[in-house]
Each structure stands twice: as C-alpha cells, then as structure tokens.
Structure 1
Amino acid sequence: MSTSSTANASTAGPDPSLYQYQPLVHSSGEIRLIKIRRAQESQENGPNAAILLEISLFHAPLDQASPYLAVSYTWGDPTPTHKLLVNGAPLWVPSNTFRTLYTIHCSVQKTKTELYQAGEEVALWIDALCINQLDIAEKNVQVPRMGQIYRQARGAIGYIGAPPAGKKPEDGFLALAWFGNAPVIKPPDGIPADQSDPRFQAWYREHQIQKESEPPEDFGEALTGLFVSDWFVRCWVIQEMVLSRETVCLYGYGQEAKSWSLSTMVMLIDRGQNHATHRRDLGRAVKGRGGGGGGVGNWHEMQKAIQVDSWRVLREDLVKKPGGLGIVDLLSRTRVGKATDLRDKVYALLGLMNAEDVPAIRVDYSDSYLAAHLFRDVAVHCMASAEGPMTLVHAGLERSIPGLPTWVPDWSAKYRSPLTTGIYNACANLFRPINVLPGGRKISALGIKVDAIAYTGIPMSYPDARLQVRDATTSTGPDVYGLVLSAAIICGRLRERLGGATGYVLKHENWPDVIWRTCCMDRSWAGKRVTAEDRASFQACLRRFGFGEDVLAAVKVDEATGRMPVENASRILEDTALQEAALGFELMVIDLQKGRVLGTTAGGFFGSFPSTARPGDVVVVLFGGWAPFVLRPVGEDVFELVGAAYVHGIMDGEWVEAVLAAEDTEIFREFVVQ
C-alpha cells in the first residue's frame, strides 16, 4: 500500500464531469467508505480489462460507521489507467486498484468466507479511493488514523495478486499446505482453522503428513510463486495484517481467484517452521536439491514467508504490550518493508507504536519535509532514551539517502543482516544516554576502544540466492562452504600471526568452534544463542566429512603457489551429501552474513563486520550497546559510524568486565560521531 502517489486524475483538469471529492469533516472523525454496485462490460478500459465498475462513495463518522471491511493490497504502477464510475461520475485509478476491486467483487458475489456471505453487499475502505490522494492536508490527518481504521473494521481483505502465467492459484496453496504438514489446504467445515482449538489439534494429529515422502511436483516453483507478490513486504501491509481482526486473502484475478484465510496461512508457515524437516524443505524449495524438490533458486521470495510469520509474532507481542511497541524495535523488524514514499517506512507503523513515541512523529507529506528530515527526527528522539544504542545498531555508512549523519539509520537503505536484539550484552549492562550535540549533526557517547581492525576478507552477498565468496588465495567458489573455508583461512593467518596459538584469545576455544560460531554469529535458527545441542549438530555434520579439527590443515595455503590446494576445497565444496546434510545451516548463515565481511583485529579477535569496514577502523563498546560498533576516524577525536559487528569473545561483556576488574577506567572516553 502507498499513500503518496497520485491515484487519479479527478482534479487534475478543468473537466467538471470528473468525480470531485467533498471535504471530510475531520472534527467529526469522518472517513469515506465505498460499495461496489455492479461490474459491466465496457470497451473503455481496453481489451485486457473490458470491465467497468460502478461504485458508490459516502462519508461516515468512524465511531458510527456500519460494519465495513478494510482492503489491503499493493499499488504497483500509480499511473491512472482504468475508469470507474463513482456516484455516477468517472474517476481514473491505477491498474492494481482496479484489479483488486474487481477481484473482491467477483469473490463476494460467489464465495462464502469467514468475513462475508456469497452475494452480500459489503462496505469497503480502500486508501486509493477513501483518501483524496491529491489533498496533502487531508492525508496528514487521515494517515495517522489508519491504524484505528483497520482495528475497527470487522476484518480485512488482502489481495495478494495473481500467480505466474500458466500456474493456478490453488498450486501455491497446496505447496504451502505440504510445507506445513497439512493434509489439505484447510480444515473441513466444522473444524476451526485456529490451531489452538482442541478440535483443530485433534484433526491435525490424525491427518498430518509424515514428511518422509518427497515434496510434490513443482513444489519449489509453486511455493515461491505464491510469495513472489510484493504484498508480503509492503510496509503498510504489516500494520494492516497485525491490527485486523480477521483477514481473507484473495489470490488470482477476477473469477479465477481463490480465497484463503490468513490465519490458516500463518498456521501452516508456523507449523512448517516448527517441523523437524523445515530447513531441509526450505532448502529444497530454494535450490531443488534432493530430487523432486522443483526448486527455483529464489531465497528472496521464500523470505517473504518468514515475514508472514513475523506478523503473528507482532500480534502476540501487542497482546503482551497493548500500549504499543517501541519505534526502533518496530522499524528494525519491518526494515524489509517496501514503500513508494520513504516517509511511509515510519508512518505505516503509527498504529503499532507506543504512546511515548507517537507524539514525536511529525506526519507531513509536504515537499518541504523529506524522508531524511523524518529519519533524523526519529533518531534524535531515540538518542536520549535506552533505545539510543539500539538505534545505532541499524545505522552506519551504508546509506541511500545522501547527507544523513552516519548515526541516523537510513531505513530505506539496502537491508543488511542485523544482529539479533537482546541475545548479546557487550556493554555488561553499563548504560549512559547518548547526547545529541548542538546543531543536531553529531552525537557524543561514552565507551571503550577495544582494538583496531587489521584485516578484512571479501564482502559477502548472494546474487541468485547463492552466497558468493571470492578470495585471491582460495579456490572456494559459491555456497556456505566458501564462507566457512574463507573463515578458516583468515583464522589460519590469525593463528600464525599470534605465533601458532592453539586457542582463541580470552576464551581459549579451539579454532573450528570459533569459525562456525562466528559464521552463524553464535545464533541458532530460532534466533537465540547457540546451545550445546546446536554445536553438536553442526560439528557432527562437519566431522562426518573430515572437516572438524583438521579444518585449518584442509585450507592451509601452499607457500609455493600462494593458493589453497584445489583438491582440499573441491573435496568439501563438491560433496553433495555434505550440502544436503547441512542445508539448514547454509540458509541460516547466508541470511546472517549478507552485507558483511569477516576479518580480524590487531590483537587477535575474529569477527563479522559491516561490509564497508576496512583496516584502520576501530572496534568500540559504547555504554548501553549490547553489540560492539565499528567507528572510522575522520578527524581529531571525531568518527563516522561504520556499523554494528559481531566480535567473537567480547559479546557477553568479557572485555568490559576485564577493564573493570583491572580498574582501568582511564580508557573510558567520549566518542563524537558525525
């Protein structure tokens, strides 16, 4: 959803026959609602959509409005291309607005769902029509009320879009059902879709798939085809799906669309993730390994399934905190959300925020208040609170908006894998608010310098959903084992520089353990710190293929050629059995290491740094920072923030505690960041 693009040309010209909006009475809490009266054949919309929709639009106070359904969809191309008749007058709307309304009309006419009966006349709220998109003053009032609009609606209709050409809507649902161990797309009549209901649980236990079989034909293509729609990652959709009482999703177009309860979709994704074979099945959907998987190599699309489950988590968290969540927490969870107007990255979350943060948000769609101004205002608001250091975790040099201070998160920048909130404690619970210096361009924070970065490897990305790691001294090639081997090479160099040390600094761990724990940032698939069980599982997988304690020998560089022996790399990288056994680890590491680079510090620490880090940057622990930060000196006692880092051996406050034990408080200093 977007609220910033021109939705129609109704007021763009002098033609009095075009539909003209009447002002809302904001003091009375008025909103607009629509009803679709009928669809008739027409030649005016072209051969691809020869349908004309007739719609009535009316005003009503929100607190007195008759039961209505809110519509959730993606705008797509905002160019007005299709004509509607609104209260008898023409109005032009974008293609996807028309497709959404026509599909809803067809579904309501013929289908009974959790929200409407077949043939029922329903009132709808849809932003493109119910907010005058050409009236900035009206948008500034109505947008902050959208959370209330979706919360008060009797439910929402989410239009996902249509499947790829040649595919049927039910194909994606059936693939998702198999992924979630469900015997059919949804429970039969009389069995609720609520997985907490005892009747559902009894039915599910009796009929669930036992997953020993191979996935259905074209499983990967059908599953990723379902999630190809940007509806799953539009920032407005997050609030809409979290606040709506019940949601019916429509997939397909017009008469061919199928309805699907969002609660059932969430249930299947949740069940699939909790099943023992989840990571293997997800790997098959992405890569098509193991036979019969039908993988299409699209990890990006499958991440959208994870976003759907995040809606469930947000809803549960709001039950625990009915007053709303913190702004940085919300922005970090929803950073992957897309928005046409970058200000909507913040505005789309107003209905989920707590009362302390909402007043600090200036809703202003005028041309003089840009996204850069909004992002900086949010950061300034957060600096004086406990959320200040957490705000810095999402900031740094990687920005797409020019001119932002490095301590201000650019929520529109390319998504870099963040460190998981709350599982580290680098500052050992020491806290002091961050000061915004006069002028608003710099901040000052108290902290400790740990070490300087001495070496960085090759930044990691994963074009075509395959992790690429290239190094002039290796022949590693793609996939997670390229990363693990590259990490082993770096650790090998580090050990040699430290005089052949047999154990890692501070904790004196063995090197293979340091390697894999850093590759996964000491984080399990479930987002918690790794356990003994996690370690045993990972190490058993590697030891099975002779890649345990001998890892450093396997990647030792030949002094004559300066390269790692090809046979050592090939033995590991080309072993398909190893790849199949470790698919779950591979997907996790790929996700965690995107946009990062492995490297070492001068004193012997090994870590995963932001991809923009380079030798000479310094690692610091700021008071209140549960993760260490990388700063770049740019002047006398002035730094730029490169970003947050995982540095093995200091994530639980070990370094700070060592300083406190030595009573060496003289190394505490103020870091000025611009």
Structure 2
Amino acid sequence: MPDGKRRDEVDQRAQLASANPNAGVPERTEPLVITDDVPSFKHSPLARPERMIRLLKIKRGLLRADPVDCELVHFDINSAPTYGALSYCWGPPPDNLKLLCNGKVFYGRRSLEQALKRLRAGFRPGQREEYIWADAICINQQDLDEKDAQIRLMERIYSGAATVYVDLGDMEGQKFSVDGYTVQFSGGGGMGAPDTLMGSDDPGHPLHYMTIFEALSQPWLTRTWIIQEVTLAKKVKYMLPGNVFTQEYLDSILSKESMLAHPDRQRELMSSNALMRGYMNYQKLKTIKSHNGKMDSLQLIQLTRDFSATSPEDKIFGLFALLSDADRKAIGPYSRSVEHVFRRFAALQVHLGRTITMLDSAGLQRRRRDGVNLPSWVPDWTAQGKSPKVISTLRPTPYSASGPAQTYTELVGDGTGSGGIIVRCLVIDTINTVAHVHTAPLTPSGQPDFLVFHDKFRATFDELIHQRGSVYTNNEEAFARLLLMDDMYTGRDAILYSSPILNPAATYRGAVAAWRERRGHGNFGGRKMDAVETYQMQASAAAVGRGFATTQTGYIGLVPPCAEVGDLIVVVLGATVPYVVRKTQGGYLLVGDAFVHGLMYGEVLERPTKDLQPLDIVLV
C-alpha cells in the first residue's frame, strides 16, 4: 500500500470457508441476480427535510459481483449515529444499474454502484462507520424542494461525518512501470489485487508517488461538488483500486516542500496536462480549507472556475456549503433556471460591493458556445475555464488603469438587476482595427503555436506604424511589452523558476528566434528558465486566445476574441484594467477586459478634464 502497510481485501468467501470447517468452499459460487419482478424503490418523504437526513447501511456481499444491497434509514441530523460520507464523480447517465435498497430496486449510475462496492470490499468490519451518506441515493433527486433543503444541510452533513471516503473511480486496465515494478489496476467493483504495492514498503519508492499521481489525473479532481465535500471533512480516506490512503499521506507526497526536494517528481508532474490540472486543483482545495470558511463567495467561485459541473446551476449550488447563510438566502432556492441563479448571484456581488472584481469574469468573451440567455454583466460560470485569462490577476502586482478613482455602480430595475447595471466610466478610445486568431495548430507540447498569433499581430502593428505612426516613443519596446502584458518578472512579479526580463525588446527578438527554431517554451523540468524562456512562457499565457487591436488615437492592445471594429475602450472607475464595450439597444454590452499599452497606470487621469468627463452607462 502507499503507506507501506499490508492490507487484504475483505473476501467473504474465505471468511465463510474458515468459519465452517466442513465446507471447503462457500455454498454459492454464482453472484446474486436481481430479477425483473422486484418492485422499484421509491423514497419515503422526510418528515422535516430541513433537519433530517437518510443514511444507508451497506450489507456484506459474498461475491464481488453481488449487487449492492443496503438499508436506507431516516435520522434527525442532531441525533444521527456516527456515519461516513461518500465523495465520488457522478459520471454520465444512464441510471440503469440495479441496486437493492430496502429490498427494492434502486436504479443508479455505474459510478455509484462501483463506489459502494469498493466501500463494501475495502474495509473489514469495524474499519469504517456502519452508516454512510451518499447524495445520489440519500437525497430524492426528483424532489427539488427536498433537494434544496438537503443542499442547505450539506455543510453539517460533510463536516459532521466521521470520515469522508473519496472514490477516485475505475482504472481498469491502466498500468505504469517504474524501477522494474509494474502496477496494473483491475476493476470489477472490488479493491483490485491485494497488496498492489507490496514490492516496496519504502514510502519513498517511486511506486508510491506514482500512485498518488494516478489519483491526481482522475476526473474526480475536476468536479465542482467535491470541493465542499473534502474541504469540510474532518478526516478523508481516498480509495483507488488496490489502495486506500489518507489525506495526510497525499499531502506528504504533494506538499510544496516535498515537490521541491524531488525534481524528478516535478518533471513527471509537468509532463502531463491532466496531472498539472489535478495538482493545481489539489492546491486550490488546500487554499480553501486553510480559509476555514472565511473566503467570500466571489473569491471562491473565481478560484474554482476550472472545476466542472454537469448542471450549470451547480457551479453555484455545488459550493453552497461553503457560503454564508446571508449569501445562500440572497441566491434563493435550488432552481433549474441557470439564468435566474447566475443573475441573483451577480446581483449579490453588486450589493456586497464586488462589482469590479465580478466584471473581470463577465462579458461576451466568457460565454458558452451553445449560448446562455444572460446579461453581459452577469458571469457565465460554466464558460470560465476555456476563456482568456483574467488580466487583472495575471500578475501579483495589480494594474491601476483608473488610478485612485472611486467606483460607482447601481442595479437597474429590481434587486436582481432586471434592467441592467449602471457603471461610471471614462470613454477612452475606439477600436480602429482588430486582428483575431481563433484557431492555431498545436505544438508538440500541446499548446497553440504562438508564432501564428505573433505573425498576424505583428503584421497589423507594422501596418499601423506605416500608415499612421503611433503614440509610443519606442515602438519595438511597446510591442514587446504588450505581448507580456507588461509583466517582466521583476520584484513582486518574479517567481521561483523565472528570470527577470530587463530588456524587453532584445528579449522579444530572442524569443521570436527561439520560436522559429522550435526551441524553448516546453517542459523545463523544474530548472530555472532564462529570460528568453520566461518571455516565451509569459507571452503565451498573456496573448494566446486574445485579439490584437489598434485604436483611433494610435494605441495598441490585447482585446477579447470577440471584439470588433467600432467597439469602445472604457475605464470603469475603480477598475484596474480597461474594458471593451459595444453600443446596443437600451445600453451597452460588456465585451470583456483588455490590456492597452500606455493606459494601465492611470495615464488617462493626466488628460485635461474638459477632454474626459465621467459617463454613466448601463450594461445590459
């Protein structure tokens, strides 16, 4: 096992044989089958769903293939027995796997069935709690009123569980080899082959950290609902076929100190996008847990923007257990109307004075392709992961486009902003040309080819200089700094493995040459990057996925991928970055945030007052 201890899977066949010396093998050798004449299970209503929960007791199985058989019992949460809670990845439908619940057929998904079988197989009697809470079966998912009440109880459910059992899912057929050892994961709903890692009892052996890395790459670490489930837990045990390990063991492998001490692990981690995503999500879970419930709702959802949810509204409700009572009340009951939920959440942020921070996640550039009927100022929380990076948080040192100006915002219509939102801003400029690259071939490292973006952007910039000139005294340096969004990795903006970019123009030329020769911007294996490599990393993060724009007065900027000629560049008072807006019937559409070189540090406030008057506009 990863912690060096030997554990055997519970095998009821062996136990029965030893209990009856006259029987060499159990009487039954074929799994039980749930016949078609068994009636379907229906939840009996909870007498008080706002304070009662259902808990299930998993009966022992004789064979791995035996169907899950459980009892479901109602308890007042204040007097419930000691219980564990299950955290797992729901996975895709259909709900067609048969489980027995109170002697009747409950139809569930394969993920639920396999997770309950692993709980049944992975622990001897007394090694885990008798009762288990599992959302898919303990909540009547068809009763939205009950679901709303139970979602509001989840803070108490998961924080009150003695143990949260994380089922990381099936890995049947997957294997890895290291130092002459091979680990292959089996399936079947059990815990796999006993003592999978008994080849080495040394916790430092590569088999142990490689097993943890396999856990990192599982879909479980990408789901919104799991965030509250593990961050509220008193104790967590992770189940990977053949392995059970604790939160403490996971932390010992993945801590920053441990990673720094093992460069080989860093190289392995950086070799896979799935591994890196899992590792970053793990770090986010650690951050949330360290806040002890004191992270505000907007911080929380922006931090977890890359986590996914099958139902869009669950991007909010999947975090409900971590929100304050006042925030839950403002958002309202569980609803299938994603537009209603997202708008109420956005209006709450306005009431709490977080409008500017919220706008960084809003705009037409952050919308699902299939379309969501949302006002442009309301963030679509299902589309954040694949949209361009938020400019205001791209570097530790904040920009200050509006200087010390104070924010003024006001909801229009009712308390949820049914008529839009008023923001006070300065209209700075108009987009004159815009160059977009909506698709680019991938490099061997799996990233979009930066040269495709660069060459189109550079051609547009050179045309501007040729036709009209620009407002910059050093055009080459202006373009080089634009591609970095002015992040030179100096001072507070430096990171452990970067080098400062002291001469942006010269470093830019070196980076372009390296790109053309297909050098750099790949796996640095934990070593320190030189200035050219640092430039390549930052430019790819800042410029890829955005458009390049020139303005009527000669500025250059990186703008949303849906920006158009004629769109306005505005600075909203109190905001750190400019935004692109578009005139429409009844107001303006927020297109998204932008970086305009020469307008990021309050320069607009130096213009004559008569040339720049604050204007209240309505974002719709």
Q: Which TM class, normalised by the smaller chain length?
A: 0.7 to 0.9
Q: Could you say which residue in structure 1 is the equivalent of 2:14?
A: none
1: CA distance, partners of 2:497 / 2:452 = 20
Out of 395, 403, 425, the position equivalent to 1:428 is: 403
Structure 1 residue identity aligned to 2:428 = V
Cα 1:577–1:481, aligned 2, differ >3 Å: closer, same or farther? same
Between 120-129 and 224-233, the greater mean CA deviation after superposition: 224-233
Out of 503, 506, 517, the position equivalent to 1:573 is: 517
Q: Could you say which residue in structure 1 is the equivalent of 2:93?
A: 78
Offset of residue 534 of structure 1: 8.3
Q: Could you say which residue in structure 2 is the equivalent of 1:245?
A: 234
Q: What percent of counterpart residues are identical? A: 23
1: CA distance, partners of 2:521 / 2:144 = 59
Q: Could you say which residue in structure 1 is the equivalent of 2:192?
A: none
2:352 paired with 1:385:
yes
Contact 1:250 1:259 in 2 (8 A): yes
> What TM-score results when the alignment is normalised by the length of structure 2?
0.77
Q: Could you say which residue in structure 2 is the equivalent of 1:562?
A: none
Q: Could you say which residue in structure 2 is the equivalent of 1:348?
A: 318
Contact 2:451 2:515 in 1 (8 A): no
Offset of residue 307 of structure 1: 0.8
Offset of residue 311 of structure 1: 0.6
Cα 1:338–1:426, aligned 2, differ >3 Å: closer, same or farther? same
Q: Could you say which residue in structure 2 is the equivalent of 1:5?
A: none
2:179 paired with 1:235:
no
Offset of residue 571 of structure 1: 7.1
Cα 1:432–1:31, aligned 2, differ >3 Å: closer, same or farther? same
2:148 paired with 1:140:
yes
1:474-493 aligned at under 5 Å gives the runs 479-480=449-450, 483=453, 491-493=461-463
Out of 58, 78, 93, the position equivalent to 1:36 is: 58
2:550 paired with 1:600:
yes
Offset of residue 101 of structure 1: 0.6
Q: Could you say which residue in structure 2 is the equivalent of 1:653?
A: 602
2:438 paired with 1:449:
no
2: CA distance, partners of 1:55 / 1:169 = 38
1:72-221 aligned at under 5 Å gives the runs 72-109=87-124, 118=127, 120-163=128-171, 165-167=173-175
Cα 1:631–1:301, aligned 2, differ >3 Å: closer, same or farther? farther
1:492-511 aligned at under 5 Å gives the runs 492-493=462-463, 495-496=465-466, 499=469, 503=473, 510-511=477-478
Structure 2 residue identity aligned to 1:418 = V
Cα 1:536–1:403, aligned 2, differ >3 Å: closer, same or farther? closer
Q: Could you say which residue in structure 1 is the equivalent of 2:391?
A: 419
Contact 1:456 1:599 in 2 (8 A): yes
Offset of residue 523 of structure 1: 8.0
Out of 297, 321, 328, the position equivalent to 1:327 is: 297
Contact 1:467 1:479 in 2 (8 A): no
1: CA distance, partners of 2:574 / 2:444 = 36
Cα 1:145–1:435, aligned 2, differ >3 Å: closer, same or farther? same
> What TM-score results when the alignment is normalised by the length of structure 1?
0.71
2:512 paired with 1:549:
no
Cα 1:411–1:124, aligned 2, differ >3 Å: closer, same or farther? same
Structure 2 residue identity aligned to 1:458 = H
In structure 2, the residue corresponding to 1:52 is in which secondary structure? Answer: coil
Structure 1 residue identity aligned to 2:517 = L
Q: Could you say which residue in structure 1 is the equivalent of 2:25?
A: none
2:81 paired with 1:66:
yes
Cα 1:18–1:455, aligned 2, differ >3 Å: closer, same or farther? same
Structure 1 residue identity aligned to 2:282 = V
Unmatched tracts of structure 2, length 5 or more: 1-35, 184-196
Cα 1:586–1:276, aligned 2, differ >3 Å: closer, same or farther? farther
Contact 2:425 2:572 in 1 (8 A): yes
Out of 486, 493, 498, the position equivalent to 1:530 is: 493
1: CA distance, partners of 2:175 / 2:51 = 44
Q: CA RMSD in A?
A: 4.2
In structure 2, the residue corresponding to 1:549 is in which secondary structure? Answer: helix
Cα 1:551–1:223, aligned 2, differ >3 Å: closer, same or farther? same
Contact 1:462 1:590 in 2 (8 A): no
Cα 1:550–1:55, aligned 2, differ >3 Å: closer, same or farther? closer
Structure 2 residue identity aligned to 1:645 = A
Offset of residue 447 of structure 1: 0.6
Offset of residue 339 of structure 1: 1.5
Unmatched tracts of structure 1, length 5 or more: 1-13, 42-48, 111-116, 176-184, 190-202, 210-215, 287-294, 470-477, 556-567
Contact 1:452 1:619 in 2 (8 A): yes
2: CA distance, partners of 1:240 / 1:174 = 33
Structure 1 residue identity aligned to 2:240 = Y
Cα 1:587–1:273, aligned 2, differ >3 Å: closer, same or farther? farther
2: CA distance, partners of 1:261 / 1:589 = 39
* Alpha-carbon displacement from aligned partner over 1:269-293 (angstroms, at most 9, x marks no partner): 3427963987x9767655xxxxxxx
Cα 1:502–1:348, aligned 2, differ >3 Å: closer, same or farther? closer
Q: Could you say which residue in structure 2 is the equivalent of 1:11?
A: none
Offset of residue 610 of structure 1: 1.5
Structure 1 residue identity aligned to 2:163 = G
Offset of residue 126 of structure 1: 0.6
Offset of residue 40 of structure 1: 3.3
